[in-house]
Structure 1
Amino acid sequence: MKKIVIIGGGAAGYFTAINAKENNPDLDITILEKGNDVLQKVKISGGGRCNVTHACFIPKELCDFYPRGKKELLGPFHQFMTGDTFEWFENRGVPLKIEEDNRVFPEANTSQAIIDCFQNAVDRLNIKVLTNCGVNEVYKESDDWFIITKRETFKADKVVFAAGSSKKVWELCKTLNHSIIEPVPSLFTFNINDKRLIDLLGTSVPNATVKIIHTKLEASGPLLITHWGMSGPAVLKLSAFGARILADKNYQYNIEVNWLSRPTDKVLNVLLNLKKKEPRKTVILKSPFSEISKRLWERFVLFSGIKATQNWADVKNNQLEKLANELTKGIYNANGRTTFKDEFVTAGGIDLKEINFKRFESKLYKNLFFVGEILNIDAVTGGFNFQNAWTGGYICAKALAETK
């Protein structure tokens, strides 16, 4: 009987173990968990609902959501894709639903549905899960792997690292001569202390364009004002694709925000036409752009030097130009970052050059595998990091199930 030890549970570890055991019931599989609680990251993901995947069904398009791992995941996505994820969970009694923004959640609307699915499968398949069993050392002698923990030493035929972004586990991997791309935070919000944003907590626009000045980084999407600055998909996408650049800047940089995602000249034309058509109306009372809320419009109007009592006829053209600039290319200073909810994601991990992605196996050692966020793969928010876990776990499980 082949013995498999999976270091670190989590989504990738459980998914790998379940698929391997279903493919080969004779496997003896043990999951080693460092802490007492299991599947905690699954529990808090998606605001407690678990954003299982994203409704993108074309492998090449799906790859575009991964700042790191785009090239390497193309082949694996042809083997196990979003549609396969739907089928996998549905076959185990957890139907999924697609929401308006294409994020995918359990129909039950709770992450507990995913946790119960995994725990029921582990119990049914007699997969051992050992908690409070942190790993101190991993080494190979002849064809056998030895995993040393405080509790005991495990002997295995195959080892899977599925511990997520754990510095201690990355250090273990270094002892096996694997290279680690040093981790930096990804998926974070921008800390911005600016008087234009004060007291606008919760204000949002549906489609802003945000640029990091003096870089090529740019992203569009919903933008949310928070008590610490800016968040929302546009910002989170920038934080993912710019993870290393922004870390190098020590999270101090300037951004340009186009709140309307429209050219400045077209916005200015709207303002000039209003000056002609509605000269007696007070500028501050109503936003001419449906995307801009009344409170946000008031802030931009006042910041452009237009008084609260001014009518359109009394506003000078240079004031309208300043207002158009505020709406389409306002400059804000970012100083620091804040973790997005409790979903801490890093850019970094095992160097992808050292992995055979046909099996998710080490190129340095036979029967040593890596799945999930321990690899230098990460994605924007929206279920993509979980899809990486499912795809890697599925392919790795097939390799583990081999009888040779």
Structure 2
Amino acid sequence: MSLRIVVIGGGAAGFFGAITAAETFPDASVTILEKNRTVLNKVRISGGGRCNVTHACFDNRQLVRYYPRGEKPLRTLLPIFDAAATVRWFENRGVSLKTEADGRMFPTTNTSETIVDCLLDTARKLGISVRTSCGVESLDPTGGSWTLHLLNGERLEADRVLVATGGYPQRPSYDWLPEQDEPLISPVPSLFTFNAPGSFLLPLAGVSVSDAKVYVVETRQEQRGPVLLTHWGFSGPAVLRLSAWAARELAERDYRFTLRINWTPDLNDNSVRVALQNFRQQNGRKQVISQNPFGLPGRLWQALASQSDIAAEQRWADLPAKPLNRLAERMTNSQFGVEGKSTFKEEFVTCGGISLDALTLQTLESRAQPGLFFAGEVLNVDGITGGFNFQNAWTTGYIAGRHIGTV
């Protein structure tokens, strides 16, 4: 009888693990079980429907630094299958990738369906069975093999199982899994936007600032990069990265904290004040709100000026010291009360999950439950935005698939 391999989860890690297993162990039967009606859903919607496949960072010592959780184990895992290997894998199957200015890599077709079709076609050619609307209720070891109890009442037998279900938002969602050597690391959300219902910038939804520093007050957490103003608060790469690195601290605060923003990240309060004073001397006849020396979007500049008690008709020459000082403070130390978060399907990532200390790192096999493997976001590994979470899926799926049929 051929080796029976069952992959639980029809996402990026599940498909990559199943494909690698079928290629490595051609005599095995490989089945993917997906609880939803369709597979590869996150692949379809990621990157605005373009699929940010990976990141153009080909120095693994640098690449691991983009992972708030998992940097140390990835030092071992990435040399086995890294971003360069991902690019080669897809190119060998007819999918070319392009690199954008920020390092994100997408298919040249600009549609995620290219990636979806590649994975589906490869799985089909390898004879992998894909079953949808097929959730697993429990997974039990049975004398060297596994019994899977499905939600529809069916029972399946497997010799090896790969769990690639993605992250779960709550700890009880992992209860169907057999116990591991290490305690489960409680999951909390990562990569989310900030709700600031009292922000004076809410009317500016859609305004983007290309470079700002964002801080969580009373912590050491800070990030720098683009910030997007939304009708609920703040988003953009800098905010999403901050949410990832501060995921645990923000969960402990129940997502209620003070966000500080420096809109001129290369300058402090004093240097901004000096720049404003110099600008006042050279532009005395002009209105304060008409232009600014920092290249900020006009609507944001006007809002900061208004919050500094500067009237719309105020000329630079007549601007008193106090409102000028208040403006310098607003520029470098705007503070907003955050009261909650917003997560979206394409952004949601879990901080937490199966501890890699419970697995044999080189194979991703459970130490406590031989024959049980893990890959993808179900592990306690998560990256910031930019293709890093998909790279984790390709890397861990490949490694698990390469070893799942080994005796």
TM-score range, shorter chain: over 0.9
Q: CA deviation at 1:38?
A: 1.1
| Counterpart for residue 187 of structure 1 | 191
Give the alignment of 1:168-247 within 5 angstroms. 170-175=174-179, 179-247=183-251
Unaligned runs of 5+ in 1: none
> Does 274-283 or 221-230 show the bigger shift?
274-283
Distance 1:72 1:93 in 2: 31
Distance 1:132 1:277 in 2: 69
**Which of 389, 394, 397 is equivalent to 2:398?**
394
CA RMSD of superposed structures (Å): 1.5
Q: CA deviation at 1:72?
A: 1.1
Instruction: Give, as a single letter, the amino acid of the residue that structure 2 aligns with 1:96.
Output: L
Q: CA deviation at 1:177?
A: 6.4
Distance 1:304 1:78 in 2: 53
| Counterpart for residue 329 of structure 1 | 333
Q: CA deviation at 1:342?
A: 3.9
Q: Deviations over 1:119-171 (max 9, x none)?
A: 10111000111112211221112211211213532222211101112457611
Distance 1:364 1:175 in 2: 8
| Counterpart for residue 268 of structure 1 | 273
Instruction: Give, as a single letter, the amino acid of the residue that structure 2 aligns with 1:336.
Output: G
**Which of 161, 164, 167 is equivalent to 1:165?**
167
Distance 2:39 2:91 in 1: 23
Distance 1:194 1:222 in 2: 21
| Counterpart for residue 81 of structure 2 | 80
> Does 177-186 or 350-359 show the bigger shift?
177-186
| Counterpart for residue 369 of structure 2 | 365
Q: CA deviation at 1:49?
A: 0.7
| Counterpart for residue 111 of structure 1 | 112
| Counterpart for residue 3 of structure 2 | 2
Give the alignment of 1:342-381 within 5 angstroms. 342-381=346-385
**SS state of the match for residue 199, structure 1?**
helix
Distance 2:34 2:315 in 1: 66
The TM-score normalised by the length of structure 1 is 0.96
Distance 2:42 2:359 in 1: 25
Instruction: Give, as a single letter, the amino acid of the residue that structure 2 aligns with 1:352.
Output: L
Q: CA deviation at 1:100?
A: 1.1
Unaligned runs of 5+ in 2: none
| Counterpart for residue 13 of structure 2 | 12
Instruction: Give, as a single letter, the amino acid of the residue that structure 2 aligns with 1:280.
Output: R
Q: Deviations over 1:240-273 (max 9, x none)?
A: 1111111111111001100110222221111010
Q: CA deviation at 1:196?
A: 2.5
Q: Deviations over 1:329-367 (max 9, x none)?
A: 111111111114643211121122212221111121211
Instruction: Give, as a single letter, the amino acid of the residue that structure 2 aligns with 1:373.
Output: E
The TM-score normalised by the length of structure 2 is 0.95
Give the alignment of 1:25-174 within 5 angstroms. 25-149=26-150, 150-166=152-168, 170-174=174-178
Q: Deviations over 1:42-97 (max 9, x none)?
A: 11111111111111111121111111111111111111111110000011111111
Q: CA deviation at 1:176?
A: 5.7
**SS state of the match for residue 94, structure 2?**
coil
Distance 2:157 2:120 in 1: 24
Q: Deviations over 1:196-243 (max 9, x none)?
A: 303211111111001100011000000010110000011000101111
Distance 2:198 2:284 in 1: 31
Distance 2:33 2:313 in 1: 67
User: How high is the sequence identity, in percent, across the aligned residues?
Assistant: 46
Distance 1:300 1:6, change over 3 A: same
| Counterpart for residue 283 of structure 2 | 278
Contact 2:42 2:345 (C-alpha < 8 Å) held by counterparts:
no
Distance 1:298 1:341 in 2: 34
Q: CA deviation at 1:40?
A: 1.0
Distance 1:325 1:153 in 2: 65
Distance 1:198 1:126 in 2: 53
Aligned residues: 402
Distance 1:113 1:135, change over 3 A: same
Contact 2:356 2:380 (C-alpha < 8 Å) held by counterparts:
yes
Instruction: Give, as a single letter, the amino acid of the residue that structure 2 aligns with 1:25.
Output: P
